[in-house]
Structure 1
Amino acid sequence: MRLRIVFTIIALFWIILLSRIYHLSVNSNEYYESIAEQNAVKTIYLPPVRGIIFDAKDRPMAINRLGFSILLKPHLNRKNGTLDSEIDEIVRYFPDLNATKLKKEYIKNDSPYNQEFISVVEFIDYDSFLPHFATLSLRENLKVNPTSKRHYPYDNLASHVIGYVGRANQKDMDNDPLTKLTNYIGRSGVERYYNSVLQGSEGSKRIKVNALNEEIEQINFNAPKSKDIKLSIDLELQKFVMDIFDKDAGSVVVMNVHDGAILAAGSFPEYNLNPFVSGISKDEWDKLIKDLDHPFTNKLVNGLYPPGSVVKMGMALAFLDNGMSKNDSFFCSSSYELGGRKFRCWNSYGHGNVNMNTAIRESCDDYFYKASQKIGIDAIAPILERIGFGVKTGVDLPNEFIGTLPSREWKMRKYGKAWFQGETLITSIGQGNFLVTPMQIARHTAMLATGLNVTPHFLKSIDSKDVKFEPKDDIFTDFEKAQLPAIRHAMYEVANHPRGTASRHFTSSTIKVAAKTGTAQVVGISQADKKRIKEEDMAYLQRSHAWMTTYAPYDNPQYVVSMVIEHGGHGGSAAGPKIVEIYKKLIEMGYINLEQSAQKP
């Protein structure tokens, strides 16, 4: 009985097995054949075309040039000359291309596992390619794809604001998969800050292909999307500012005091953006990085300078906040001695009795030495930080530096050393370890002019939809707001009083300007020197940086113009005439209406 059961089970097993084999090999044969013959569905992802950057008056600052790329079929035979033949054909039409480099690029990307065409020529301009399009596109081993390439029509104009795009590397692709399609990513400026907006989103199309991977039908299509942006920059004003700077190195910011919109901003010297798109040559790169004027550094947010006397308004506000009166005075005898060291005033004859207004107007160092010694760094530093020093401005540029606001805590944290009283003195006149960016000074000046907290910015709109940057009333206390008119009046006298440090440079100005000059030393002065050497007699790289920050019109503030000229010597003489011309241009272009601005001190 048991033997019958075993044989029965074995028989049933073989019957089931044979039935399954019959089903797969005979009954289902037609079914699987039909599947094999059916068309497969393939999804192709489409790269977006990068958005255009416009200036405030719709002039394109960054565009996309149309062109074509050339790809070769994978696994071309290298031994029988097929690969060389195809490359020679390409070079015959475009002799500027290097056949050796094309072949090297092909071999690098060819592998037994790759079934996709291999890109060997990334971009050829539309007009240059078009006469040969028909011939090349008919070659079996070659594929021609339409493409685009980022282009900056004005080369170096506003280069540090616009920034540039560069080829995406593996890290970029890991962080942003879309760059696998676009192959490019924003590297600096607004190109980087607003990369996600400009880059857009991928598109796709689903197609049916046969066994030979040939497209026979499109099922659906989703277009890629990207967005254009408009900046507050006015290229006409930007060009004017660049021409004014001529060969000087430094930075300038022209900003609306009410909302922080920047009309012009330059970091000089500037550099040509276009070579970076495809890859800058070693010689060009070496020339950039070895230039002593540092054209590749965005000095607007990465240039760190001692602020010199342009910090004195903020310092004076800190004094007032801590019990001093604007009428309190000190006698300036040209120097102040502390711990056996003399801290000089710039005026070797002294200023005599000086109050807050006179100290700002005539930039008396001795007043700030003595007042800072009375108040102390512990009371001064927190106020300076609140009004914009040692913190980011929030401007829409990448990698903004915060500078250095020296304090007792800062020194202990950085150096593990105690603070000395002498450091309070040199900090009070914007020297020593005190470092700021030009953007911080521009924002600080706008805050003094309006009493409001503004965010400097370049963005005006995205796809024609305005982006608002509302100022905040959260920076000054009520007491400080009550003190601002006195500080503004002192700034007015800097540019309009006969003894103001900038007055002789504003005699030709058609509007009343509030200003502050600054001379930021880059080398120390020996105690053995009884009188400081003149700036013009010093070697160029030892001359002080020249600062001037302003707003105008004085009675109805509308725009800030802040400027630093590297190794320019004195702020008034180096920057004053340039700033006067910028205000004249603002009036000429209609940004400042003289009829709406009463000329009252």
Structure 2
Amino acid sequence: MKPERTRSKTFTRRAALLTGAKMALLGGLTARMYYLQVVESERYKMLAEDNRINFRLLAPPRGFIVDRNGDYLAINIQNYQVTLVREQAKDVEEVLARLAQVIDLEEHEIAKVLRETQRRRSFVPITVRDNLTWEEVSRIGVNAPDLPGISIDVGQSRHYPYGPDMAHVVGYVSSVSQEDLSGDPLLELPGFRIGKNGIEKRYDLALRGQGGTSQVEVNALGRVIKEIDRQEGQPGRELKLTLDMRLQQMIAERIKDEKSAAVVVMDAKTGAVRALTSIPAYDPNTFSEGLSTKQWNDLVNNPYSPLTNKAVAGQYAPGSTFKAAVALAALENGISPDHSVFCPGHMRLGDRRFHCWKRYGHGHMELVDALRESCDVWFYDVARRIGVDAIAKAANKLGLGAPTGIDLLGERGGLIPTKQWKRDKRGQPWHAGETLIVGIGQGYVLTTPLQLAVMTARIVNGGKAVSPFLSVDQIDGRDAHERTEQEIPSLNINPDHLRIIMQGMDEVVNSPRGTARRSAIKEPDRAMGGKTGTAQVRRISKAERDTGVRKSEEMEWRLRDHALFVGYAPVHDPRFVVSVIVEHGGGGSSVAAPIASDVLKETQRLFFDEDENAVTPTETGENDANRRTG
């Protein structure tokens, strides 16, 4: 009996332990179920819904860019893409080999697709190539039975109808880089492109628009089963520019034979930029389509710098065009317009000679004479008298030495030196001879073609602090360009001083002794005034001066002088200003002035003839014809 009782007790104890363990497990399971179904119910409900319904972002159409007449400068076009789905293709390499027999596929394109197939799920489409021609689309369609997993998608891509003619203003779009990511989910969409240069970059947010959404049903693996709902996004804004495409094309055609040049045309009274051209240029369509390594290297290594917008980022010694600013500085510092200087062809300072461009001199010169014939010695003399700081003050007032604020990125500010600048930057004192060189726009002085246009506008518009702009519409809060002509602040320049300078610039072109007389516009009511400039890029030795300075055509291109001209028209009531630089072009009077003359003739034809036939509101809300007549 005793062993029997012992076994019974042992069994009872084990049964109790087992029952207790079962109860503990059951209690833990119950607690876990309570936690999942009650405490965490909302979380898992959300996860379950996300596994069934997904929201996907849709890229909005990018806003168009148009010129002042509504001519399209940047648009969106249909983009045919060939895509591949790995799970349908089975043998991807074989399918790509067959596709390469139908359309041109480079080895690096095939390699890229093979890499993508390893990174993405088997049902996710992979872009093999985009921007297909209609002929390529047709060939793929005909061969579709032999190309499993291959299909054609239709999207949108950016297109620039005028190509290089507008490249430096409009810019281009390209793929989003890691550095561009800023929290905007649109930037993470495959194939999404943003502005990388020019107006496309400056107003990228406005042009980009707002994304839409697509509500789709998916399975647990993420494969789309069907679309439930779609909310289209808000397209980007259409952006209107002040440019006239007809004038822009005319300028591009006029300077096409030059190796490197820039031209700016601006409304002197409002600051509206009517043309802004820089050559050589590039085709912005290659960037939106996808630039090859070879194409990029060709652009970067081109000695004429096609990627640089020389109109706003090219910095050049202004040469004699700067004499208009020096003349203003002279008048504002007490130099009389009757101040006479005898020019024997040089000026001596200490043991150095500073030469005039005219070897045997101009004789007696006063201010208007010196502007008309571009006498270096007269400007050497007044520069020495008033000093470099006085010149810098007048030049800064006219818009030189600092960015103009135009709505383009990458603008450079040039340089107007002072004594303090040299001490700070070079750690050296200023020398008297450097002042003389500054007086003729050489030495440390650097300006951009756009700055020279602004300088000219401020001289001929009565001393108004006009600033250049490209966008007609108010974008991202920028509304300075909406000021009327009367609201543009004055620079408080004595009008008599401006009148004297303009008289000299008038005679530069319209006097028999003027340096640009051969480029005069013959129609009296559309005559132009201006100032020639020739900027040296090399030092001329004494030995060369003794034997005769070599002509431009006798030297290699990079040793030739820069040719410059700033002008305005019409003389009786200035409305437009132009700035021209031809890199290593030779003389300003022989090369740059004829270009400016043709440009101002065409500008007046386009604007004044239209004004006579139609009443069209301008960017400032006034009628051009009314503004022209006061």
TM over 0.5: yes
For 2:376 and 2:359, the matched residues in 1 are separated by 11
Structure showing the higher helix proportion among its residues: 2
Task: State the Cα deviation string for residues 474-527 of structure 1 (Å, max 9, x = none).
Answer: 4522x5334211111111111111211112321635522121111111111113
CA drift of 1:267 comes to 0.8
Q: Which residue of 2 aligns with 1:379?
A: 390
Task: State the Cα deviation string for residues 378-437 of structure 1 (Å, max 9, x = none).
Answer: 222123123211100111221111112122122222222111111111011000121111
Q: Which residue of 1 aligns with 2:429?
A: 418
CA drift of 1:166 comes to 2.2
Q: What code does the residue aligned with 1:543 have?
A: R
Deviates more, 1:567-576 or 1:144-153: 144-153
Deviates more, 1:41-50 or 1:576-585: 576-585
**1:60 is matched with which residue: 56, 64, 72?**
72
Task: State the Cα deviation string for residues 327-370 of structure 1 (Å, max 9, x = none).
Answer: 22222221111121100111222222222111111111111111
CA drift of 1:179 comes to 2.6
Structure 2's unaligned 5+ residue stretches are 1-15, 613-624
Q: Which residue of 1 aligns with 2:8?
A: none
Q: What code does the residue aligned with 1:199 have?
A: R
Q: Which residue of 2 aligns with 1:575?
A: 592
Matches within 5 A, 1:579-590: 579-590=596-607
For 2:49 and 2:563, the matched residues in 1 are separated by 78
Deviates more, 1:534-543 or 1:444-453: 534-543
Task: State the Cα deviation string for residues 256-301 of structure 1 (Å, max 9, x = none).
Answer: 1122222222112223222222333444444444444333321111
Matches within 5 A, 1:75-474: 82-88=91-97, 90-91=99-100, 94-98=102-106, 101-108=109-116, 110-111=118-119, 116-125=124-133, 128-129=136-137, 132=140, 141=149, 144-174=152-182, 177-181=185-189, 182-211=191-220, 213-219=223-229, 221-248=231-258, 249-450=260-461, 451-461=463-473, 468-470=481-483, 473-474=488-489
Q: Give the direction of change, closer, same or farther, for the CA distance of 1:564–1:469 in structure 2 (3 Å limit).
A: farther
CA drift of 1:323 comes to 1.9
For 1:34 and 1:56, the matched residues in 2 are separated by 52
CA drift of 1:543 comes to 1.9
Q: What code does the residue aligned with 2:586 have?
A: G
Q: Which residue of 2 aligns with 1:4?
A: none
Q: What code does the residue aligned with 1:106 have?
A: L
CA drift of 1:534 comes to 3.6
For 1:598 and 1:395, the matched residues in 2 are separated by 23
Deviates more, 1:579-588 or 1:301-310: 579-588
Aligned residues: 586
CA drift of 1:538 comes to 3.7
Q: Compute the TM-score of the two structures, normalised by the length of structure 2.
A: 0.83
Q: Give the direction of change, closer, same or farther, for the CA distance of 1:420–1:99 in structure 2 (3 Å limit).
A: closer
Q: What code does the residue aligned with 1:508 have?
A: K
Does the residue aligned with 2:591 lie in a helix, a strand or coil? Answer: helix
Does the residue aligned with 1:110 lie in a helix, a strand or coil? Answer: helix
For 1:428 and 1:299, the matched residues in 2 are separated by 24
Q: Which residue of 1 aligns with 2:491?
A: 476
CA drift of 1:18 comes to 1.9
For 2:233 and 2:49, the matched residues in 1 are separated by 30
**1:48 is matched with which residue: 45, 60, 65?**
60
Query: 1:372–1:428: 8 Å Cα contact kept in structure 2?
Result: yes
CA drift of 1:542 comes to 1.9
Q: What code does the residue aligned with 1:519 have?
A: T
CA drift of 1:597 comes to 11
Instruction: Indicate yes or no: 2:495 matched with 1:486.
Output: no
Q: Which residue of 1 aligns with 2:562?
A: 545
For 1:351 and 1:597, the matched residues in 2 are separated by 43
Query: 2:319–2:533: 8 Å Cα contact kept in structure 1?
Result: yes
CA drift of 1:375 comes to 0.8
Q: Give the direction of change, closer, same or farther, for the CA distance of 1:85–1:309 in structure 2 (3 Å limit).
A: same
Report the RMSD for the aligned CA atoms in angstroms. Answer: 3.7
For 1:55 and 1:127, the matched residues in 2 are separated by 33
Matches within 5 A, 1:495-534: 495-506=509-520, 508-509=522-523, 511-528=526-543, 529-530=545-546, 531-534=548-551
Instruction: Indicate yes or no: 2:581 matched with 1:564.
Output: yes
Q: Give the direction of change, closer, same or farther, for the CA distance of 1:417–1:37 in structure 2 (3 Å limit).
A: closer
Task: State the Cα deviation string for residues 83-107 of structure 1 (Å, max 9, x = none).
Answer: 2244345445x42124663244332
Q: Give the direction of change, closer, same or farther, for the CA distance of 1:369–1:41 in structure 2 (3 Å limit).
A: same
Q: What code does the residue aligned with 1:433 have?
A: Y
Q: Give the direction of change, closer, same or farther, for the CA distance of 1:546–1:36 in structure 2 (3 Å limit).
A: closer
Query: 2:60–2:232: 8 Å Cα contact kept in structure 1?
Result: no
For 1:330 and 1:44, the matched residues in 2 are separated by 77
For 1:33 and 1:331, the matched residues in 2 are separated by 95
For 2:75 and 2:336, the matched residues in 1 are separated by 56
CA drift of 1:462 comes to 7.2
Q: Which residue of 1 aligns with 2:572?
A: 555
For 1:527 and 1:53, the matched residues in 2 are separated by 54
Does the residue aligned with 1:459 lie in a helix, a strand or coil? Answer: coil
Query: 1:65–1:125: 8 Å Cα contact kept in structure 2?
Result: no
Greater radius of gyration (CA) = 2
For 1:45 and 1:35, the matched residues in 2 are separated by 19
Query: 1:204–1:224: 8 Å Cα contact kept in structure 2?
Result: no
Q: What code does the residue aligned with 2:105 have?
A: L
For 2:146 and 2:213, the matched residues in 1 are separated by 25
Q: Give the direction of change, closer, same or farther, for the CA distance of 1:222–1:435 in structure 2 (3 Å limit).
A: same
Q: What code does the residue aligned with 1:43 have?
A: F
Query: 2:52–2:218: 8 Å Cα contact kept in structure 1?
Result: yes
Q: Give the direction of change, closer, same or farther, for the CA distance of 1:473–1:235 in structure 2 (3 Å limit).
A: closer
Identity %: 33
CA drift of 1:250 comes to 0.9
Query: 1:45–1:205: 8 Å Cα contact kept in structure 2?
Result: yes
Query: 2:326–2:391: 8 Å Cα contact kept in structure 1?
Result: yes
Q: What code does the residue aligned with 1:552 have?
A: A
For 1:341 and 1:100, the matched residues in 2 are separated by 63
Q: Compute the TM-score of the two structures, normalised by the length of structure 1.
A: 0.87
For 2:529 and 2:268, the matched residues in 1 are separated by 13
Q: Give the direction of change, closer, same or farther, for the CA distance of 1:33–1:396 in structure 2 (3 Å limit).
A: closer
Does the residue aligned with 1:563 lie in a helix, a strand or coil? Answer: strand
For 2:174 and 2:279, the matched residues in 1 are separated by 22
Task: State the Cα deviation string for residues 172-195 of structure 1 (Å, max 9, x = none).
Answer: 235765332253222222122222
Does the residue aligned with 1:252 lie in a helix, a strand or coil? Answer: strand
